[in-house]
Every structure is written in structure tokens, then in C-alpha cells.
Structure 1
């Protein structure tokens, strides 16, 4: 084995010891595949907020197929039965664009995870948090519970479950195993799922709506396929799965968190060797795409309270090693 690879794998085991899998693709060819912590290529991992970027792709497909008009459609158009509280005008102005760019306003300082996930209908609970007195300021406000509204929109727009829509239009066409829906009933089960070593499925609430902000389990190979799909302008094995213009728009700066640009539920990553983009989840789960170098890095990792910076691992170590 190459000395560089030996050194790299040693670094993973010592400095990044919550990593379970790494795949590197270059010019459509797999140049590295490695597994750690007892994992194999068949084991799925809860990819945390990478789920958001998968939802972004599904929104793009729903727009392309005519289920959703465009990103400027108002959120409440999908929930005509929702009762707006007296004096609350802001929520009526929120669009899909605000949801996708994390510029929607909310009525909380810190995310009320327990309140939302204890409710029977997570979409309704998230809608109840949307709005506020300040109006829509364009301020970036990252929200995992708020993202749930996008799952509710997909269900309302398509008339199908998120899982069924994803299976038909994204997962099966890309040879990705369709996960089973999995319900969690209380805070303990929620924590257990997040901390579990071998997670599987896609979390749903009691109404059967899959999560949008977290809760999806994938393998590194699944994630690498998604990265390759984006790198290739939405084409997988000669079939157009996702519109190229959606990918282009999703990976352009639409908002910004500090110095880090954000697209449609994808992070934009400036590097010395060109502008890249990534789906990033807690613990260091990541789909990293480097368009200039035609590279994709897929990384899965277990939940960790203090994970080392995986973005630095990818940009400073993995990309230079395989470019």
C-alpha cells in the first residue's frame, strides 16, 4: 500500500476517529475507498444535515416536474387550512426561496427541538414557529426544525410521501437502496437514534412525513453517487435525474453565514484551487464536490460532541493527495 495512504488512514484513526467511511472519486473513477470503526461498504450511517441537501434535490425535481411552480411560491399556498394568528403578517410572505437559503424568520432564539419532535405533526409545529415581528430581513438563520416545512411541502405538492417520491425520482434511478421509514416516539428514542452506531432508515413523524433537516441514513457509496450526479450536471448513467440549472442555482451563493456562502441547502466552499460546494452534516458527514478538479469526496461519521474539522481534512489533506 502507498505510504501516503498508510499515513492518511493512520491520521483518520487518530485525529478523526469518528469517521466510518471515505470515498474519493476523480474523473468518474473511484480512486480511494476506506472504512473505519468496524464499518463496511454496506453499512448506512445517519448523515445528519446532509439530509437537507437531499431534500433540496427533491424540491428541484418537484419544480422540474411541475408539482411546484418555482422557488418564489409562498409557503402557505401549500397549507391552505393553516390558521394564521391575528397580526402575524410575516409568515404569509415566506417563500420556498427563504426556506432553501435559510433566510426565513423564526420566533425563537434557540431551536426548540424537543417541542417540535414531541408533537404529532412536525410540519405544523415548524409552521407555528415561522414568522416573527421583525419581518423578513434576509438574515441567515440556520434551522433544522424549520427545514421540516419543506418535507410537508413535498407531500402536499406531489400527493405522495417524501420517501415514495424520492424512491421513484432519485434513489432507485441511481441504484441507491430505498431506506425504510422509521418512527421515533419520544426524546429518548431521538437521542438513541442520533447516538446509535449502526443507524438505518429515514425518520418520520406520526403523520408519516419524513424528516427534512436530519434523519436520513446512507452509505458513503450512496453519498458519492449524489456528489457525482451534481458534478455531472444532473446526469447519472446517461439519464437526466436532476435539472442542470437547478444544480447551478443550488450551488451559487444566495445567502451567507459569516464568511461561508450558502446556496439552496448546500454550502459553498471557497478553496485555493477553485470554488467548491458541499452537503455537510453534524459529526463531519459530507458530500464534497470540487468542479475544477472533477473530484467528489464522500465522508460518513458518527455523532460526536467535539468532532475535528472534516472540511479541513477534505480540503487540506484528501483533495491534495488524490488530485
Structure 2
């Protein structure tokens, strides 16, 4: 009944959604109630249903217009507190792959980077906008948004909306009581060790993720995705906690649980607990399956480059606000980087584990050879938020360093030996250069 009620509410909004999709960027901006309109205002947008097969130019336009290609909930900025700027020349920094040396300029080109910002000790020391992007561009996170949801789980735990990470999800979201998800815990969803079958293959048109993408481009996405994720045909393939398997389906469940536990959409949670109290500079938009009712737990966070960086600072500062209030549990940052030891998370490339509380461990792979610098960022505790096609936030609390990146990598999920390796090497070089 709960699913049907939400679906009917969403269906009533479909007409306005169609208008928003067809409108110009300016009309979409004002319809959403954004305080300022994102730039550039691209006129022709690629088809949302083809997101996984867009070309490079389409990805640039699509990723910076995601906020108006779907229904969305706005998270409003309060009193902006822009970061101080103390720019440094990083052009001489370099890294090596297969004994070939590449500079920062090479890195930007080789990795299709459309935005890069480096924040050291709370100051912007480097910023780059490419492909026509600007400080007002709202770029989409893809799965980097999972790390934002993880952080909101932390705020809900701190505030008592969630009693324990070891609670079953059905305690907060009864629709899952008699499903394969019913006995899975919040902690297991955070670590992606639910054991529930889910095919995340971005290259397979029949995969669960491809079907999810199709649902998002169609009518009544909440009902469509709910049916996909919660189908009686979905079975366990491993005991909960035993095997790591990346799952946007599980992340969707986690987002839904958070909304039910708090009584707020993801956008409202973000606005109230982080965006306004931490002084973000611009409004953002969260991809919604039903405006004002349900936002997407697996992705869909759209914000400016500086605000991506400020979110990284919020996490790095362990959720401490400018007024001294702490929004995250005391041990949250440590728990996020206690990489799960479940099967498939521990690999020859990452023998200490690959994944934490919806954060990645993207240090230089142990198996990589003929690369430099191998060290720079604090490998054991640096948190990486990663979205397909190269959306990155790297947070090194020990060095007070945050690096954020927008990209349009040629592949959605390249191996650790490709673009993720170059990112870890370049970010190491930046960390080393800023220590001098």
C-alpha cells in the first residue's frame, strides 16, 4: 500500500515533469526555485535513457544538465561561506606510468577532466574548469552520491533517528519486511555485503543497473525501481556479511530506509544537516523519483565544484560545524575507513580491503609496477568517493587535504590499472607538492 500511495502521488506530478524536461534551462531553473541559474545553459540535451552509452561530448552536456533532465528536489544554501583562496602553481607536479612522466596538464587531458579543485588547510590552492564548465555549474555525482548518503546515515545515527547500524532495515522501512532485504542490516548495506543478487554491469543492456537507468527515464520511476529492486525473484547469493558485491540496488534501499527513518527526503536531510549549517555556496539538486517524496539513494547529487569540496571538508572535519556542533558520531570517520574484509573486497591490488561505508580505498594498487609516486596521500585512511566516468572526492584527514574531480572517462568503470591508478598517482604528487 505504501508503494502504491507514493506511486499515485508521483503520477500526479508527471505532467509537470514533462514540462520541466522540455523547457529551457532558465525555465527549469526557475521552476525548481534555484536561487541562481547554473551555467552554461545548454539547449540540446542527450536522451536520458541512453546515459550509459553517451559519447564524450554528450556526457559533458548530460552530466552538467542532470539537474533538469529528471525530476529533482532542491537543497537550498543558507548564508554562503565561500572558501578562502590561496592559489599555488602546481604545473611542475608530475607522476609516472610505465616509466613515462606526465604533468598535471597531461593528467587533465588524459583523463577527460572537466573540473578539479584542491583544498589544503581549508583554502582553495588550485582550481580548474574545463569544457565550458563554470563555478556555477551543477555537475552530477553519479555513484559518488552514495558517499553523501552514507554521511547522512551518520547524521541520522547521531540524532537518534537510527538507533544502531546493526538494526534490520525493515525496522525503519516495513515494505521490506517480507522480502529478501528484510533481515539485512544498515551496516551491511553501507558495506555492500548484503548478499542479495544484483548485476551492476554498466556494459550489459540487460543488467539490473541498465534496467534501473531505463526506469529513471520512464514514467513513475519510483514504482518501476521498487519493482526492480524488490521483486520476489531477487534472491540471496551469499550469507549477509560474507561477500562484498557493489550494488546500486542495495544503495537505493539504504536511501529509502534513511528517508523513512527521518521522515525527510535525502535533499531535505542534506539541506538541514550539512548544506545550510556548513555554509555551502549554492543551491543543489537531488535526482528525485517523486518530488518531495523520494530521492535516489544510489546517485543523483548535483552541486558546484566548490560545494563538492566543502562537503569533503565537512567529512574531513568529522562533521563539526563552524558553531562547534558535531553532526556525526565521534568514531564515524574511522568506521568509514575500516575497510571490509569480506570476500572480493580484499584483493591482490588492495590487500587491506577495497570498500568501507560507501567509501572506496583507492590507494596505488599493490600490484602496480613502474609507477610513481607510490606514496603521498595517507593511504590507510584516505576516503575516496567515486562515481562512474570519473567523479571523485578524495579526503585525507591527516594532511588536511581534499581533492575533487569532475570527469567524463571513456569507460564507466575502468580497472584500477587505468584512470583510477592515474588519479591516485596524481593526487599523491599533489599531496607531496603541498608538503613543501
Q: Give the TM-score category using the shorter length.
A: 0.7 to 0.9
Q: Which residue of 1 aligns with 2:314?
A: 229
Answer yes or no: is the 8 Å Cα contact 2:288–2:296 preserved in 1: yes
Answer yes or no: is the 8 Å Cα contact 1:130–1:146 preserved in 2: no
Q: Which residue of 2 aligns with 1:120?
A: 222
4+ runs deviating over 6 angstroms: none
Q: Which residue of 1 aligns with 2:266?
A: 162
Q: Which residue of 1 aligns with 2:356?
A: 263
The Cα shift of 1:134 comes to 3.9
Q: Which residue of 2 aligns with 1:182?
A: none
More strand as a share of residues? 1
The Cα shift of 1:8 comes to 4.3
Answer yes or no: is the 8 Å Cα contact 1:31–1:322 preserved in 2: no
State which structure, 1 or 2, has the greater radius of gyration over its C-alpha atoms.
Answer: 2
- Superposed counterparts of 1:114-263, under 5 Å: 114-116=210-212, 118=215, 119-121=221-223, 122-123=225-226, 125-128=228-231, 131-132=235-236, 134-136=238-240, 138-176=242-280, 177-179=282-284, 201-206=285-290, 208-239=293-324, 240-255=326-341, 256=345, 258=347, 259=350, 260-263=353-356
Answer yes or no: is the 8 Å Cα contact 1:234–1:247 preserved in 2: no
Q: Which residue of 1 aligns with 2:430?
A: 318
Answer yes or no: is the 8 Å Cα contact 1:20–1:300 preserved in 2: yes
Q: TM-score, normalised by structure 2?
A: 0.62
User: More displaced, 237-246 or 3-12?
Assistant: 3-12
| CA distance 1:314–1:243, shift in 2 (3 Å) | farther
User: More displaced, 166-175 or 118-127?
Assistant: 118-127
Answer yes or no: is the 8 Å Cα contact 2:169–2:186 preserved in 1: yes
1:227-262 deviation digits (Å, cap 9, x = unpaired): 212222222324323333222211222342532431
Among candidates 109, 121, 133, match of residue 14 of structure 1 = 109
| CA distance 1:234–1:39, shift in 2 (3 Å) | same
RMSD: 2.7
The Cα shift of 1:270 comes to 4.3
Q: 2 CA distance for matches of 1:40 and 1:157?
A: 37
1:287-321 deviation digits (Å, cap 9, x = unpaired): 11123322111112236327733533543433233
Answer yes or no: is the 8 Å Cα contact 1:126–1:145 preserved in 2: yes
- Unaligned stretches of 5+ in structure 2? 1-87, 95-101, 201-206, 216-220, 365-374
Answer yes or no: is the 8 Å Cα contact 1:78–1:157 preserved in 2: yes
Q: 1 CA distance for matches of 2:227 and 2:337?
A: 29
Aligned residues: 297
Answer yes or no: is the 8 Å Cα contact 2:196–2:237 preserved in 1: no
* Secondary structure in structure 1 of the residue aligned to 2:411: coil
Q: Which residue of 1 aligns with 2:130?
A: 36
1:76-129 deviation digits (Å, cap 9, x = unpaired): 2223244626xxxx6432100110001012234454134445253334542337
Q: 2 CA distance for matches of 1:33 and 1:73?
A: 42
* Secondary structure in structure 2 of the residue aligned to 1:32: strand
Q: 2 CA distance for matches of 1:42 and 1:5?
A: 28
The Cα shift of 1:72 comes to 0.3
* Secondary structure in structure 1 of the residue aligned to 2:164: coil
Answer yes or no: is the 8 Å Cα contact 1:104–1:131 preserved in 2: no
| CA distance 1:322–1:64, shift in 2 (3 Å) | same
1:160-197 deviation digits (Å, cap 9, x = unpaired): 22211211111111223332xxxxxxxxxxxxxxxxxx
1:207-237 deviation digits (Å, cap 9, x = unpaired): 7311121111122211211221222222232
Q: 2 CA distance for matches of 1:169 and 1:203?
A: 18
1:23 correspondence with 2:117? yes
| CA distance 1:66–1:57, shift in 2 (3 Å) | same
* Secondary structure in structure 1 of the residue aligned to 2:242: coil
Among candidates 165, 168, 181, match of residue 71 of structure 1 = 165
